[in-house]
Structure 1
């Protein structure tokens, strides 16, 4: 594991942070470009959230030649706040 991975540092997205994408696949390709330094590494796994995150994660994993898996989660509800998840 790299020092960067251990430290949990975030990747600065610059002008991409405010960009609107054609679809989730395009967003994944752009994200993969920002993560290019992780291509072909044996210590990289791409995790995607089902539904909206899976298409993004697929494009990232494909571009980085990394394995892809889904990260399954459940919504945590808050009593009295039906829309909060």
Structure 2
């Protein structure tokens, strides 16, 4: 591949620490992200392993779907009070 006429070698750029990209994320969230962002697919966490990660069972627990806010129906604009 290095013999191809338009081959360019890219300079290695280290990834920034996840803590600087997501300063308010919990340690569990950062651990899960790091495992999902692993470049080598053999070392990367599987989808099944990700769903079993402690992030999904640590506090704060996820909001129950029934308690989530829903957007207003289409075509109905909120009434603005001056």
Give the TM-score normalised by structure 2: 0.26
Decide which structure has greater helix share.
Answer: 1
Larger relative contact order (CA 8 Å, sep ≥ 6): 1
Report the TM-score, using the length of structure 1 for normalisation: 0.26
